[in-house]
Amino acid sequence: MAEAPGLFAERQKLMPEPERASEWINQLKSMWDKNVLTKEEAKKIKCPVLIVGGDRVAHSTPEAFVDTYQTIPNAQLSIIPNVELTDLLFDQKTMETVVMPFILNFK
């Protein structure tokens, strides 16, 4: 949790079994290490998709976000400059200017 040292401690306080926090981290790592969808599966997505990434995300690159964007039909892409993953998760400006307009576009 090098990107946000306080994030882990804060999450651990919320856990009903904080002694199992390392188990949670291992499950997250396992999830991140897997491709959730193959490219063939991603090409079959019919609904609009918003891909939001930061140009400083430790586990990915802007090129990877672009590749995903180009694979999914009807996808939209927003790469936020000077941003890491945890910045994206907690940045109200990104939510207001990128995510909410995408969501509100659907009625």
In the chain (107 residues long), the average pLDDT of successive 10-residue segments reads 64 83 80 76 93 84 92 93 77 83 82
Residue whose C-alpha is closest to residue 76's, from 92, 98, 54: 98
* Residue 46: predicted pLDDT: 92
